[in-house]
Amino acid sequence: MSYPSHRPRRLRSTPALRRLVAQTSLEPRHLVLPMFVADGISESRPIASMPGVVQHTRDSLRRAAADAVAAGVGGLMLFGVPRDQDKDAGGSVGVSQDGILNVALRDLAKDLGEDTVLMADTCLDEFTDHGHCGVLDATGRVDNDATNERYVELAVAQADSGAHVVSPSGMMDGQVAAIRAGLDAAGHIDTVILAYAAKFASGFYGPFREAVSSSLRGDRRTYQQEPGNAREALHEVELDIDEGADIVMVKPAMAYLDVVRAAADISPVPVAAYQVSGEYAMICAAAEKGWIDPQTVALETLTGIRRAGADIVLTYWAADVAAWLA
């Protein structure tokens, strides 16, 4: 029997050959580890729906962050979890220099300096008593412009505390332009804006709401992206780039790989994608049943996100992947 002169299988015959011709790489430097730091707890608190992920104390956060950076993880994304009694309608604890997120940013900035990229979630949902991403008007709807004013205050406070990157995630119109102007006016001209440019109203966020002890009532469909609207998502990406975003992000990642690919095709700035809590949790749940191997599937899904065009991937597997690839 004759075979074609070129047999693709030849290039798969040894690990070294496969490594040599690999078209998509997955390296620790591509990955950002989301981390949660909570106020008012004396020891780290496991998050039941996200096995292996915890709400950190300030001390445990410092240790885990140092370990992740030493392993080669590219960056850290911090989320603050205040005490319920410190939440209010305007999310003032997020702006306060004594708020848990800003205190933790100062801790890590002191510990790690320029050895990592320190990112902060620039949103109000963790800090408000109603759990929405913005300031509510008299009718109970999120007030876009009033929220942007608050985002500027958050971003400046985070940059003052040592964040290299601020990350507006509320999907307010004009949020990037407002934050860029506010940062520049405060002297933070080198602070990077990672814009959640296409953040979809997804069912995959459930475990995250446990992670941040969310107070949300209702949903966020009036400001987050409709899942079926890819063209609209790309318009949002273009708007954020025009407003000065340094990095744009698609969230979630795995159900929106077509949007990741399309964003990468049009974006002159790096594209990030967030493998969110529900995507992480379903891999863990299947692994606990013995149906899949978690390491194999985690690496496969992250490689798929990279193959779709993401330059940066936020994932709760980041530190594990760095160890696996060492």
Band of residue 3 on the pLDDT scale cut at 50, 70, 90: low
pLDDT over threshold 60, residue 1: no
Tens-digit pLDDT profile for residues 104-163: 999 999 999 999 999 999 999 889 888 788 888 888 888 999 999 999 999 999 999 999
The per-residue pLDDT of the chain, averaged, comes to 93
pLDDT over threshold 90, residue 223: no
> Which one from 87, 110, 199, 289 is the annotated catalytic residue?
199
For the chain, percent helix, then strand, then coil, each to nearest 5?
A: 45, 15, 35
Catalytic site includes residue 251: yes
Q: Are strands 54-56 and 45-46 parallel, antiparallel or unpaired?
A: antiparallel
What is the pTM (predicted TM-score) of this model? 0.94
pLDDT over threshold 60, residue 74: yes
Domains within the chain, CATH numbers bracketed: 25-324 (3.20.20.70)
Q: What pLDDT does 142 receive?
A: 87
d(CA 166, CA 118): 9
Q: What pLDDT does 4 receive?
A: 59
Polymer length in residues for the chain: 326
56 has which bridge partners?
Answer: 37
pLDDT over threshold 90, residue 25: yes
